[in-house]
Amino acid sequence: MLRRALSHPNAPVVVGAALGIATTAAYLIGSGRSFGYDAAATFGNFVATPNLIDAFAVHSAMPSMPLKSIASNDHVFLSLISHVIYSLTGSRSEVAYRLVPALAAGGTVGVSATVLARRFGLLAGACAGLFIATNPMFVENSRDLRGYSLAAFLALLSTVVLLASTPSSGVPAPQARERARSRVPGGESQSSSWTRGRLVAYALLLGLAIASHVFVIVVLGVHVAWIAMRRSRADMNRLAPAWIAALAIGAAANANIEFMEFVQHGFPASMFNPAFPLYLVLFLVGAPVLLPLGLWLSTAGLGLWAVRREPRVWAAVAVVAVVVAILWLVLQPAYLYPRFFIFLIPGVAYVIAAAIKRWWVLGPVVVAGAIFAIAAQVPGYTEDPLALPQAANAVALSRAGGGNPCVIHSDESILDAYTTAFTVVTTADQLSACSEVIIVSWNVDPTLRDLAAQEFPRRTLLPAYYHAVVLGR
């Protein structure tokens, strides 16, 4: 009976759905904890505001905080969805705004597992889905008000639509069409499956993925390379409008942000990170948890050998390598983190699944990595990353007692997600007007912070993963 169930045509869908649902449920555990730094900046400035257009980073909630300094925290499409939730419900519950990222993460796991189970078998698909679901970088960035998981999910869906609509070969189009005719009843080419509705859906999925995080433009580059490999002008002409539309959607969503970052110099000065390519590879396959990293990296390496004759794999690797090289060696942005490439994790799952298909014994290796990854992430899984609710309560108590609570400049950009009943201090002479000084992050002026600590010697700790402190006289 078990064998019959595993061989059922719908078994990949069942496995994928189960893993996706389990992932979403697991990611929502502890979803009532405080927002993290970037999520708090997003919520306070681009979500919990009077105007829906603020989701496009057109206005700072705090006059003391220049918009260009926080605009990069705005993942536009997720901010827009979240602002709709806020506008309709008025809710400030963290759970409500973590639901979409968790659902997108579950969707990424579920779709990946389903597609890979159909391609490589149930064991390979299930293990690949488990790898995505427990990957530390994917877990951390899918459990808060950030657009990474939504970008990964939409990019994955657009890729599935593309691959389902084009022949799966890297040979020139005439040979591909000839092979397709030999497999399709009536001799119709598989390349004809691009209907107008499918093209529109593809353009919307890819465009909204870029609107969720601008780095997904890499996926567009990969898709162009895949179609160019077919050497078919008809295919390029057919898909060019969809690519232009996707680029237009993504560019329109991010236009104001990119203008502020690059024209108004919202980013700090360029900075070369010599280890970034290494960090990117390591975090994609399990860092910073050491044991899963070793198990998954070795499996992925074998997977690359297993798919060595698949031109699409190497084309994707080449496009990513070129983009990384340009960012790393030429543009050198001060903010360049492996999480910006989180949408590549399903691609790593693909080569892991290929390895398991070739050597089934690698399945338990991947599962063991998942178990160790889960164990390493359990401590602190439900802990407040920042003491923002506690700090907001301290502000309210001070105001109720007739005090004038203050925060040091830059902390207002995150504490405003919970309260705005404080005074912002930017210079040392302003400290004398404060009854307390509340410090909630590491991102404040250290000189001003130390002066505040001298003038306000009484300290009350507010517990969280990164503690806040209330300085009193």
The pLDDT value given to residue 3: 54
Burial of 245 (0-12, 13-18, 19+ CB in 10 A): middle
The pLDDT value given to residue 184: 40
The full 3-state SS of 109-126, as one line of letters, equals HHHHHHHHHHHHCHHHHH
What are the tokens at 402? Answer: 């007739």
The pLDDT value given to residue 46: 96
pLDDT in tens, 207-251: 999 999 999 999 999 999 999 999 889 999 999 999 999 999 999
What are the tokens at 472? Answer: 């009193």
Phi-psi region at 186: left, alpha or beta (left = phi > 0; alpha = psi -120 to 50): left
The pLDDT value given to residue 355: 98
pLDDT in tens, 304-350: 999 999 999 999 999 999 999 999 999 998 889 999 999 999 999 99
The pLDDT value given to residue 168: 58
What are the tokens at 140? Answer: 């951390």
User: Which H or E element spans position 439?
Assistant: strand 436-439
Cβ–Cβ under 8 Å, residues 80 and 71: no
Confidence of residue 98 (pLDDT cuts 50, 70, 90): very high
More confident residue, 167 or 18: 18
Calculate mean pLDDT across residues 22-32. 98
Confidence of residue 264 (pLDDT cuts 50, 70, 90): low
The pLDDT value given to residue 6: 59
Confidence of residue 62 (pLDDT cuts 50, 70, 90): confident
pLDDT in tens, 389-428: 999 999 999 999 999 999 999 999 999 999 999 999 999 9
Q: Is the pLDDT of residue 171 over 60?
A: no
Confidence of residue 20 (pLDDT cuts 50, 70, 90): very high
**Which residue in 302, 279, 291 sits closest to 370, CA to CA?**
291
Confidence of residue 66 (pLDDT cuts 50, 70, 90): confident
Q: What is the rounded average pLDDT for all residues in the chain? A: 92
Percentage, residues of the chain above pLDDT 70? 92
Q: Is the pLDDT of residue 368 over 60?
A: yes
pLDDT in tens, 434-453: 999 999 999 999 999 999 99
Cβ–Cβ under 8 Å, residues 440 and 388: yes
